[in-house]
Structure 1
């Protein structure tokens, strides 16, 4: 077990919205601040979830490159958020501290919840260590450039001015160098939970 020091609400002249904080805060020499959110929950993190919008809001308010770590992240979330400058890591496991080993064992039992992907322990695995120590620093500058390029669309999405379909369409058109209002029309009802892996977004 360890004692975690909470990231500050104000840093480098920037103030976080309300009393919201990142789970972790890092600094990169040229990319600046990096806000890291670790969501150790069972639900898949789709683009329209509150956790995503809150991460974007905090990243915009603090001018930080957003980083999302979660148990399961579908392709559509990777595709959309990485285009906008976020860095994502899928852990594949729900983690329990060693102190909760008995609870984790019960949750994993087939005749109870049957969560086969539960892991116990207080140390990060090698994949996560590599992501934090190597991938994030190596990709921070390119992520910063994309974040700056798409921050207007991120803001409109996080504040509800753009719903998911319009946000995704505008990101796609901007990526392809097309006029973003070229095929503007009323947004259809769309549930990203209906998205099929490997399909278009």
Structure 2
């Protein structure tokens, strides 16, 4: 009777954390560095890192656990990029006038789910930038609001005091923990026919 193969899942379980650290470092550098690459190069870099991490993860875990783990890993890495964006300081503040308000209802799924309204505010600001703020709190046309922004336009503007990385960081941690757990539960590959022969 053959002994079961050990579960050599240590490197695979570490992959989500390592990938998240690399993706966060790349995104944060792209958002903050004075010598950061263009938006096209920055996005391509994130895409390459994400695809490489997901490919290695799925190849090592396999099966349905590998499929769902890869999905969680991809979403966790995207949440990591969003966290880097929201962690980035927006060094300037402008007082702007709300020119137009567009509302969009976002429906949550599941029992007892509610509808959340997101607002896009078109703005008139000194110097013409920023021109809009997305996912902003409700504001009336003609109202003055203070908007934090990056003069080099590396990150999206936001209403002053509204940017917090806590929610996206929490989602990133939950998703990365889920794919790490799935990596630890992977089953060893079945013995090949040649190994079963006497």
TM range (shorter): under 0.3
Q: What TM-score do you get using the length of structure 1 for normalisation?
A: 0.25
Q: What TM-score do you get using the length of structure 2 for normalisation?
A: 0.25
More helix by share: 2
